[in-house]
Amino acid sequence: MNLETAANLGEALSGLAIMATLVFGLRQVMEVNRNRRYEISQTIAKSLENPLVQRGFATFGIAITKETGLEEMMALTREQKDATNAVVVLMANHAVMTYHRNLSFDIVYSFYKPYLSLIGSSMRRMMMMIEQGYIMHEQSSVTEEEGMGTFHWVIWLLDRLEQHDKPDEFKPHLNQKDWLP
């Protein structure tokens, strides 16, 4: 084998080694992304399993309606108030993380969409009434212009969730009956 042939063979082998390294790196990136999506899903699922959050969903679904007045909201038990607050804070956190693309909107949608008909309008009602109360309270620093930021993130997320439509996730026991693992 002459020197030129050996050099060409060495160059070809080094090119193959670079390609193999790139393919391996790409596979690693894909695996990291898959693991990240899994961890995000687990984090959201775990936060929604919290008993206080579940009581909050129940409170929004049963005790608070879109017609509920301030007196009725003030009559909620301390536990119900804490539970609704836990849901609002959790959703605000998920909204901020979704906005900054730290959470996948599709994953957030899949977890929250089933709850929307139960909690959407009652959450909006409660947050609007509480914000107005703080705005009217003389010693509060909440203003009409700024409002309560936490509430506005939840409203932002509710708006996005209500606008989004994935019919394949509606009634999955019917629409996904042919799904195979």
Q: What is the pTM of this model?
A: 0.75
Distance of CA 30 to the CA centre of its chain: 22
Residues sharing a CB contact under 8 Å with residue 151, sequence separation 6 or more, in sequence order: 88, 92, 127, 130, 131
Question: Residue-wise pLDDT tens for the chain (181 aa)?
Answer: 677 887 788 888 888 888 888 888 888 888 888 888 888 888 888 989 999 999 999 999 999 988 888 889 889 999 999 999 999 999 999 999 999 998 889 989 999 988 888 889 899 998 888 888 877 877 777 777 777 778 889 999 999 999 988 777 777 777 777 887 8
Angle (deg, nearest 10), helices 51-58 and 3-49:
60
As to burial, measured by CB atoms within 10 angstroms (0-12 exposed, 13-18 middle, 19+ buried), residue 167 is exposed
